Amino acid sequence: MSILIKGGKIIDPASQCEDFLDVFISGEKIKKLQKNLKMKEAEIIIDAREKIIIPGLVDMHTHVRQPGREDEETIKSASLAAARGGFTTICCMPNTTPPIDNPALVRFIHEEVRRNSLIEILPVGAITQNLEGKKISEMGRLKKAGVIGFSDDGKWVVNSQIMRRALEYAKMLDIPLISHCEDPSLSEGGVMNEGYWSCVLGFPGIPGEAEEIAVARDLALCRLTGCRLHIAHVSTRESVQLIREAKKRNLKISCEVTPHHLALSDEEVKTFDTNTKVNPPLRSHEDIEALKQGLKENVIDVIATDHAPHSPEEKELEYPNAPFGVIGLETALSVVLKTLVQSGVLTLKEAIAKLSLNPARILGIDRGSIQEGKTANLVIVNLKKNWEVREEDFLSLSKNSPFIGWTLPGKVEYTICRGKIVYKGE
């Protein structure tokens, strides 16, 4: 199949390109990128005038729920949702049932992806067996089977000696370790951020310090081992400050923030909508300002969804008993455009880098860039079009989004993965 995309504005953070160029795709690759391309052999011609063309987005943090909770999400449904949101590569977290802590399960994921996914899905392996934090998983065999990174996401590896060993192995294997920073002895029982709103609402709180204690220890172990460490879903001002200082000292550290932690504060919990219940919890306005500042200064490298599908039966439980998590693949780009680009926190190119090139670099994959010879993963977006987030439009099997009813800017019109159109908007 060959595709010619005409008249669009390319925004490519890797080459710093922001120019009107035509794109010719043949097979899986971008073959030509220049002005006024005339390719008679093109089978499909897409008119992208007035649109932008950006690299296929890369999500470092997706919960796909297969195996175990196929009622909530599958590799197939996650790939449809990802394609609708402009993602062409996502990393699936290992907190499935059973967890991805052995090579057979990694092979299972690869096989399911090959059979059922429209986009690229790369498995993250567990740091510890059964995510119990007690014994390290067979990290070498997991890497051989094809994991892209390691994480016990959902849980912090509490034992420092085990975390140290895991970091040493990860360094040897040259693969990033992703830490969910939360000291469970401080957060246990909490359902929202500890502060003014938890007092008003009478809910048990999770203090920011539960995250910051974990971040501080992990930074110390990063220094001790020299391993690359990526901190998932940073949510507080103090965490940003700790990471800022660590970066000044040249630690091999990177981190991410989610769109929901940028767009929503703990005040939203007053609606009692369980789609405001996430882990880490939504924080204060001050924290949100610090996260935005962190993004500006490149203290925060990546925006990742933490797409966490949950069934309606579970999300409809009373607030304290509902599970933590919201879906994010189909709204991430537009929420970022609204909360960061329209408000002038980041330029469009900077925001795109945090959603594509930066995560690709941390993962060590050749993605997140539109250049001749590269794999043709790209997205055509109409920035002028606003759209309403409607529950019935989600392609994800789960509907637990806090953004239902919002009108958001930026409509994905085409998502192209490995040279194939995997999503076409109406």
The site for ligand DOR (CB under 6 A) is made up of 63, 95, 153-154, 180, 278-279, 306, 308, 323-325
CB of 213 to Zn ion, least distance (A): 16
Distance between CA atoms of residues 139 and 145, nearest Å: 10
CB-wise, 211 or 301, nearer to ligand DOR? 211
**Least Å distance between CB 154 and Zn ion?**
5
Instruction: Determine whether 306 is an active site residue.
Output: yes
Using CB under 5 A, pick the residue from 12, 153, 266, 301 that binds Zn ion: 153
DSSP 337: I
The sign of the dihedral angle between the CA atoms of 37, 38, 41, 42 is positive
Of 118 and 278, nearer to ligand DOR (C-beta) is 278
Nearer to ligand DOR, 154 or 205 (CB): 154
Read off the tokens for 62.
């997706």
Q: In angstroms, what is the minimal distance from the CB of 180 to ligand DOR?
A: 5
Helix or strand holding residue 213 (H, E)? helix 208-225
The site map against Zn ion for 177-196 (x = CB under 5 A) is: ---x----------------
> If contact means CB under 5 to 8 A according to the sort of partner, which of Zn ion, ligand DOR, none does residue 308 touch?
ligand DOR
33 is in the binding site of which of ligand DOR, Zn ion, none (Cβ under 5 to 8 A by kind)?
Answer: none
Q: Candidates 118-126, 148-156, 185-193, 389-397 — which segment interacts with Zn ion by CB under 5 A?
A: 148-156
Report how far apart, in Å, the C-alpha atoms of 156 and of each of 64, 185, 214, 251, 396 are: 20, 11, 8, 20, 27
At residue 260, what are phi and psi to the nearest 5 degrees? -70, -30
155 touches Zn ion by CB under 5 A: no
63 binds, among ligand DOR, Zn ion, none (CB under 5 to 8 A by kind): ligand DOR
State which residue, 212 or 306, has the beta carbon closest to ligand DOR.
306
Output DSSP code: residue 319.
Answer: G
Q: How many residues bind Zn ion (CB under 5 A)?
A: 3
Which residue number places its CB atom closest to ligand DOR?
A: 325
- What is the distance between the alpha carbons of residues 354 and 343, in angstroms, rounded to a whole number? 16
CB of 13 to Zn ion, least distance (A): 26
Q: Which of 71, 266, 306, 393 is catalytic?
A: 306
Q: Decide: 244 and 212 in contact? Cβ < 8 Å.
A: no
| Eight-class DSSP state of 136 | B
Q: DSSP code of 179?
A: E
Question: Cβ 133 to ligand DOR, closest distance in Å?
Answer: 14
Site string for Zn ion, 93-122 (x = CB under 5 A): ------------------------------
Report the Cα 315 to chain-centroid distance in Å.
21
Token reading at 52: 């932008």
Instruction: State the binding partner of 324 from ligand DOR, Zn ion, none, CB within 5 to 8 A by kind.
Output: ligand DOR
**Contact by Cβ (8 Å): 365, 317:** no
| Residue 390 Cβ vs ligand DOR, minimum distance, rounded to whole Å | 23
| 3 state DSSP class of 73 | coil
Q: Which stretch binds Zn ion (CB under 5 A): 20-28, 147-155, 340-348, 378-386?
A: 147-155
Q: Report the greatest alpha carbon distance in the chain.
A: 67
Contact (CB, 8 A) for 91 and 120: no
The number of beta carbons lying within 10 Å of the beta carbon of residue 343 is 10
Nearest to 22 by CA among 39, 7, 38: 7
Taking CB atoms, the residue at the shortest distance from Zn ion is 180
CA-CA distance, 410 to 218, in Å (whole number)? 37
Quote the CA–CA distance of 22 and 326 in Å, as a whole number: 37
| Residues of span 221-240 touching Zn ion by CB under 5 A | 232
63 is a site residue for Zn ion (CB under 5 A): no
Phi-psi region of 174 (alpha: psi -120 to 50; beta: other; left: phi over 0): left
Phi, psi of 179 (to 5 degrees): -110, 130
Of residues 161-180, which lie at the interface with Zn ion (CB under 5 A)? 180
Q: Look up residue 8 and give its DSSP letter.
A: P
Catalytic residues: 306
Residues binding Zn ion (CB under 5 A): 153, 180, 232
